[in-house]
C-alpha cells in the first residue's frame, strides 16, 4: 500500500508583468499572485509468483489506485501597480492561501488493473515470454496491452526479440491545473505507444559487445502550445545502438582496466505542429532528438583502493521543435573524470575528486515546453517593454567546469575492527 502527495504549496509566488495600453499609453504593470494545488493518491498493489515446474514461471497481480486531483489552481493576488512604483518592502502582498480541500474543484479518479506474464523454456536456453495487462480508468476508460518476447542463448551469444505496448494518461496539470496559453485542455486522450526491439549481445571474460535496433510508434502524443494542449497523430522513432566494452586484469601495470564506447543513431519523424497550422498529415523530422550520440570512457583501478574514471560524450546538432525560434540546437561534447582513493591507510576513509566538463565548454540543452522565449534580451522601445517571445526558455544553459570533493567512510571497516 502506498500514499503519495504532489502539491504546489500554498505560498508559491508568481510574478506577472504586462504592458497596459489604456488610452494608447503604454504602462508597464506588475502583480504578484499566490497559487495552490493539492493532489494525492492511495494505491494498493499485490504480485503473485507461480512456478509449476523448472520451465514455466508466471508473475501475476492486481492494483487499485484512487486519486484526488485538483482541477483549477486556487489563487489570490495583490494589487496591480506601475512597475516604476514597485518596492519589495512596501508592496501589499496577498495573503498566502490556507491549505484546504474544495470538493467542488476536485476530480476523483479510480483505476484498477490486472496483469500477468508467463515465461516458458520451450528448448534449453530458449524462452518464450507472453504477457498482458488490463486497466480500467474512471475517466479514460478501458485499456488492454500486450507484451511478448523471445530469448535465445547460444554459447556466448544472447539474442532477444521483444515487443511491448503501453499507455500514458495526461498529467493533471495539463488537464486542469493550468491556463489555455500554457497548454490546458480537459479533453486530452491518453498517449498510446508500442516498441519493437532486437538485441544481440556477445559476452566473454574480456569483451562485452551489444547491437540493438528499435522501432517506437506513438499515437495521440500531446503538444502544449499557447492555444492549449492537443493530441496529435503518430510519431515514429527508429534507431540503433552499438556498445563495446573491453576489460582486462593486470594490464599496463594496473590492477584492472575497462575501455568502453557507445554509439547511437536515431531517426525520429512524425506530426509535431498544431493541427491548425498544418494542411493534413505532415511527416516532419521531430525536434529535440539528436540523430547521433557518442559516449566513451575508461575505468582504471590502479590498485585495490586507487581508481580513475573518465567519461566523454558527444551530442550532435539537432532540430529544435517547431515553436523554438532557434530552429536548431548546436552540438556539444563534454569530458568528466573522477579520481579517488578508498580505505586510506586501512582507516575506512575515502577521498575522491570529481570534475565535470573538464574543458569548460559552453553548451546548452533544448528548452522546455514550447521553448518559444527566444534568446534576444528584453529592451524598452518607445516606453514599451519588449521581452521574451514566449513563456518557456528556448535554451537551458549547462554548468561550466565543476569540482566536487567527497569524503566518505565505510561502516563495514568499523565493524571489522
The pLDDT value given to residue 282: 63
Instruction: Give residue 382's domain range.
Output: 45-72+109-415
In a domain, 325, yes or no: yes
The whole-angstrom separation of Cα 237 and Cα 235 is 7
% of the chain residues with pLDDT over 90: 55
The pLDDT value given to residue 400: 95
For residue 63, give the C-alpha cell. Answer: 492494483
Most confident of 1-5, 259-263, 343-347: 259-263
Q: What is the mean pLDDT of residues 2-17?
A: 84
In a domain, 10, yes or no: no
In a domain, 344, yes or no: yes
Q: What is the pTM of this model?
A: 0.83
Element housing 385 (H / E): strand 384-386
The pLDDT value given to residue 183: 60
261-284 pLDDT, tens digit per residue, is 999 999 999 887 776 565 555 678
In a domain, 40, yes or no: no
In a domain, 29, yes or no: no
- Give the single-character DSSP code of 286: P
Structural domain count, the chain? 1
Element housing 412 (H / E): helix 411-415
Q: What is the mean pLDDT of residues 297-301?
A: 96
The whole-angstrom separation of Cα 366 and Cα 244 is 28
Quickly state the pLDDT bin for 297 (edges 50, 70, 90).
very high
237-257 pLDDT, tens digit per residue, is 999 999 999 999 988 889 999
Among residues 6, 66, 67, 65, the alpha carbon closest in space to that of 38 is found at 6
In a domain, 77, yes or no: no
The pLDDT value given to residue 322: 85
In a domain, 97, yes or no: no
The CATH number for 240's domain is: 2.40.170.20
| Longest CA span, the chain | 84
In a domain, 86, yes or no: no
Is the pLDDT confidence value at 180 over 70? Answer: no
Amino acid at each position: 500500500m502506498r500514499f503519495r502527495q504532489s502539491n504546489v504549496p500554498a505560498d508559491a509566488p508568481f510574478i506577472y508583468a504586462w504592458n497596459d495600453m489604456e488610452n494608447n499609453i503604454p504602462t508597464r504593470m506588475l502583480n504578484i499572485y499566490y497559487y495552490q494545488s493539492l493532489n494525492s493518491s492511495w494505491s494498493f498493489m499485490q504480485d503473485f509468483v507461480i512456478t509449476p515446474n523448472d520451465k514455466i514461471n508466471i508473475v501475476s497481480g492486481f492494483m487499485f489506485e484512487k486519486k484526488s486531483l485538483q482541477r483549477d489552481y486556487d489563487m489570490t493576488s495583490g494589487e496591480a501597480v506601475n512597475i516604476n512604483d514597485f518596492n519589495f518592502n512596501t508592496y501589499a502582498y496577498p495573503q498566502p492561501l490556507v491549505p484546504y480541500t474544495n470538493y467542488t474543484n476536485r476530480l476523483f479518479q479510480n483505476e484498477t488493473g490486472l496483469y500477468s506474464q508467463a515465461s516458458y523454456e520451450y528448448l534449453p536456453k530458449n524462452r518464450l515470454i507472453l504477457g498482458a495487462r488490463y486497466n480500467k480508468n474512471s475517466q479514460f476508460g478501458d485499456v488492454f496491452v500486450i507484451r511478448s518476447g523471445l530469448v535465445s542463448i547460444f554459447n556466448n551469444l544472447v539474442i532477444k526479440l521483444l515487443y511491448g505496448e503501453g499507455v500514458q494518461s495526461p498529467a493533471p496539470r495539463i488537464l486542469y491545473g493550468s491556463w489555455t496559453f500554457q497548454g490546458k485542455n480537459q479533453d486530452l486522450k491518453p498517449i498510446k505507444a508500442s516498441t519493437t526491439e532486437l538485441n544481440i549481445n556477445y559476452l566473454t571474460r574480456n569483451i562485452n559487445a551489444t547491437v540493438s535496433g528499435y522501432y517506437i510508434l506513438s499515437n495521440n502524443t500531446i503538444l502544449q502550445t499557447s492555444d492549449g494542449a492537443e493530441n496529435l497523430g503518430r510519431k515514429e522513432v527508429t534507431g540503433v545502438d552499438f556498445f563495446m566494452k573491453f576489460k582486462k586484469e593486470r594490464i599496463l601495470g594496473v590492477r584492472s582496466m575497462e575501455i568502453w564506447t557507445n554509439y547511437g543513431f536515431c531517426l525520429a519523424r512524425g506530426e509535431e505542429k498544431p493541427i491548425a497550422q498544418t494542411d493534413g498529415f505532415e511527416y516532419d523530422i521531430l525536434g529535440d532528438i539528436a540523430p547521433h550520440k557518442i559516449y566513451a570512457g575508461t575505468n582504471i583501478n590502479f590498485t585495490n583502493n586507487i581508481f580513475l574514471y573518465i567519461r566523454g560524450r558527444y551530442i550532435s546538432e539537432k532540430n529544435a521543435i517547431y515553436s523554438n525560434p532557434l530552429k536548431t540546437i548546436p552540438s556539444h561534447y563534454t569530458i568528466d573524470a573522477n579520481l579517488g582513493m578508498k580505505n586510506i591507510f586501512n582507516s575506512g576513509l575515502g577521498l575522491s575528486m570529481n570534475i565535470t566538463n573538464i574543458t569548460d565548454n559552453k553548451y546548452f540543452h533544448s528548452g522546455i515546453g514550447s521553448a518559444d522565449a527566444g534568446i534576444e534580451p528584453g529592451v524598452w522601445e518607445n516606453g514599451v517593454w519588449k521581452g521574451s517571445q514566449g513563456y518557456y526558455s528556448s535554451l537551458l544553459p549547462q554548468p561550466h567546469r565543476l569540482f566536487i570533493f567527497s569524503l566518505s567512510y565505510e561502516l563495514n571497516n568499523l565493524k571489522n575492527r
